[in-house]
Amino acid sequence: MTDQTDLSEEFEAYRARLLAIATRVLGSTADAQDVVQEAWLRLARQEPGSIENLGGWLTTVVGRLSIDAIRSRTTKGEVSYEEQFRDPIVTPDDADASQSPEDLAIQADALGLALMVVLGSLRPEERLAFVLHDMFAVPFGEIGQIIDKSADAAKMAASRARRKVQGAPRPTSGRHEQRRVVDAFLAAARDGDFDGLLEVLDPDLRWELHGSRDVTVTRGRKDLLRALARGRDSGVTARRVLVGGQPGILAWSPSGAPLTLMACTVENGRMTRVASLTDGARLERLDLPPRDPEESDA
């Protein structure tokens, strides 16, 4: 590394990987961006030529900063609500090559919401060990150095995490079927087709409404159907998206402000779970697709 320009260029070559690691460990794009920015600031303070393995050094810094961020959440009492619906990665369901390399790197193995919830229940070291080894092929020896433990201890931490992750629910429907169900849901909601909605909503539907202060959970279709009727009457528009790589819907108010982000679980041709994020402040900080799909290529 010679000067600040060269340093910045070398860092940018690692940015997508670092952001992907931090996003998976923290489950929050905003927190991940903060961690990566702090890693850059620390790198900029290093003496030129003092780092032999820049990629390893940056991975270590991002890993440790991510652990510190998780522990800080716990200290501040933020985990209980934030972990229930952590900031997801939201992309158009018709994503194509017009996306940036950074977007594609994050989306390539995007986590489903069920897996994100499982990761959120792990200890910080377990979460980091699992993400680094199983998703980014970092050797246990290097992981041990990052978490200040032996390679064997790092391997055990990843193994404990893996057992929990393997028990997470898996989608029983393929992507084509998921899209069909979401499209049918959107069409029925737009047209006020009550029977059509009943066709795609499971009778024992679990609806989680994540507001600005609390989370409300209901069983059955009644409450969601009422909310959909209100939205149709008020001119709400919506489009299909991917939420953490899984089927979802993003809705806007008539003024164009993001109104609701819905993450959907599709099983056997019906939606069995819908998690709706309606907290305006959290929606504003997410990197959301545009309301008009034509703007995706802009």
Specify whether 201 is located in the same domain as 155: no
Pairwise pLDDT comparison (149 vs 176), residue with the higher score: 149
d(CA 13, CA 24) in angstroms, rounded, equals 19
Mean per-residue pLDDT, 241-249: 84
Q: Domain range holding 67?
A: 4-105+113-166
For residue 226, what is the domain's CATH number?
3.10.450.50
**Residue 149 is part of a domain; what is its CATH number?**
1.20.140
Same domain, 162 and 293: no
CA distances from 102 to 4, 13, 57, 93, 283 (A): 22, 10, 20, 17, 21
Do 160 and 19 lie in one domain? The reply is yes
Tell me, yes or no, whether 36 and 83 share the same domain. Answer: yes
- Verify that 151 and 15 share a domain, yes or no: yes
Q: Is 32 in the same domain as 161?
A: yes
- State yes or no: pLDDT of 91 exceeds 60: yes
- Look at residue 77 and tell me whether its pLDDT is greater than 60: no
Q: Which of 68-77, 132-141, 238-247 has the weakest average pLDDT?
A: 68-77
DSSP 112: P
User: 143 and 35 share a domain?
Assistant: yes
The Cβ of residue 44 has, within 10 Å, a number of other Cβ atoms equal to 11
Instruction: For residues 111 and 232, give the distance between their C-alpha atoms in angstroms, rounded to a whole number.
Output: 31
Q: What is the DSSP letter of 131?
A: I
pLDDT for 157 equals 95
Specify whether 147 is located in the same domain as 184.
Answer: no
32 and 128 assigned to the same domain? yes
Q: How many domains does the chain have?
A: 2
- Determine the pLDDT at residue 70: 87
Do 15 and 162 reside in the same domain of the chain? yes
Same domain, 162 and 213: no
Residues 26 and 161 in one domain: yes
